[in-house]
Amino acid sequence: MAPPLELFTFAILFLLVVVAASIPTTLEGPFEPVTRRLDSSLRQGSDDVPLSDSRLAKKVKSPFPEQIAIAASFSPSSLWISWITGDAQIGSNVVPLDPSTSRSEVWYGLQSGKYTYHKNGTAEVYSQLYPYEGLFNYTSGIIHHVRLDGLVPGKMYYYKCGDSLLKAMSEEHTFQTLPAPGPNSYPSRVAVVGDLGLTHNSTTTIDHLTRNDPDMILFVGDLVYADQYATTGGNGTSCFSCTFPDAPIRETYQPRWDGWGRFMEPLTSKVPMMIIEGNHEIEPQIDGMKFQSYQSRFAVPAEESRSNSKFYYSFNAGGIHFIMLGAYVDYNLTGLQYSWLKEDLKGVQRKVTPWIVAAWHPPWYNSYSSHYQEFECMRLEMESLLYQYGVDIVFSGHVHAYERMNRLYNYSLDPCGPVYITVGDGGNIEKVDVEFADDPGKCPKQDDNKPEFGGVCHMNFSTGPAKGKFCWDRQPDWSAFRDSSFGHGILEVINSTYALWTWHRNQEAYGERMTGDQIYIVRQPDMCLAQKIDGDA
């Protein structure tokens, strides 16, 4: 006779409790700092995958779509689809394509092969131009962006994109809309990755991330590293200024963007990828223009979230409100971004979206020598606002390694502060960071680590064991765990107070069974939000 259902239910619940008991929670913190140094059997980095690799090659003829990518809108009832048609040009004399020669259409529906709905969008091209003799210029293919609306949250859709008049439509692709906002509705898995590039390590990261089957990708900047090349191509370098000391400008090889888009398409054509700019997206060119690749190639819900800029925006995914901030545009208290951020935070209804997750490229808290205290000015301007409104988790990149902090605020341990996590370990050509500011002889000088935007606000610590010093003499108490390895993270929000964070090292992809880092992040709204702001907690 089969055992009663109650026994099965009890057994499952017991198993969940046993498994959960082996994973720590932030309620048990703050934790004693732990460091895992680079495995001596591993190399510190790898070379870029060449554009001749089949994964980076163009697989369709013009004017068929390629480099297809989707992005969430502010609400799960809408979504962006982007793609490229035509052929980019690079050389001394380039002529931009005419965007009006190719329609931007998406046909979609709830059944395979039955496309009940149709939307048109916009098209554009961009150029990367250099006013210096001997440097190659570039002009892109035609970049299409279409915003779908009226979608049903949590549903699978089938779609094709392209130009129906030219009979140049893509193959059928699928996407699943994100869940509707609500305290009991969450994406199953949110992948978090940064500083990816396109090395052999990067491909391992993406293969590993794909196997973890995310519902959404949060990309915390530094996507391609096209600026590690001369405009004429050749080999990429881990140090541009070392290889090209006489370069008149930070050059880029823009075809790397196209190769990256092709490599990522199997994932980005079905999973929303939400990006924010990093320093490697700056890409200066003629007339002081910057960020042209970033601003042209990707759709983000700026207008939908009442932002006037693609450099900062927000969106909802189930019961999570995501805020993407720009570190390379004005972040001062008197600036537009700060004003937008304050209004956005005011508008969050915590009974509908209990979780607030923020992301930007350079970390505020970082115990590695690389980029140490680099963006103190941004922290000093914005941290108190994020703390006041109870931001739960902050993701950043920039430092090419992993680090998770204990909850903190203003360099002091605080049970109501966010959990700051650095995941700039995607695998790029600049290699993994291995030196810590608390290692003997590795503390940077105060005039080191100058940001590529904003001022310098380096400071000695005023309290604690490092009082009067620029660096600690041991791993800081606010640094819970750090590891010099490549990898990615997965965030699984379980309910309005519990979320499981797992950082996967790339070594797992080669058979290592040890998880890089894992912890339950626990919200305490009754204790924290009540003492910070009056309003809907």
What are the residue numbers of the active site?
371
Contact 358, 325 (CB under 8 A): yes
* Residue among 314, 342, 313 nearest 329 (CA): 313
Residue position matching structure tokens 């059997």: 41
Cα torsion 286, 51, 230, 361 to 10°: value is 70
Contact 221, 397 (CB under 8 A): yes
- Between the alpha carbon of residue 36 and those of residues 71, 139, 151, 423, the distances in Å are 35, 44, 45, 15
Partners of 404 in beta bridges = 421, 481
List of E strands, 110-262: 117-120, 122-124, 127-128, 137-139, 142-148, 156-163, 168-169, 173-176, 190-193, 216-219
- The token pair that represents 56 in the structure block: 């980076």
What is the C-alpha to C-alpha distance for residues 464 and 361, in angstroms, rounded to an integer?
Answer: 27
What is the C-alpha to C-alpha distance for residues 185 and 181, in angstroms, rounded to an integer?
Answer: 7
Partners of 29 in beta bridges = none
Angle between helices 336-346 and 376-388 (to 10 degrees): 20
The phi, psi pair for 8, rounded to 5°, reads -60, -45
Q: How far is CA 246 from the centre of its chain?
A: 32
Question: How many CA atoms, within 13 angstroms, populate the side-chain half-sphere of residue 304?
Answer: 20
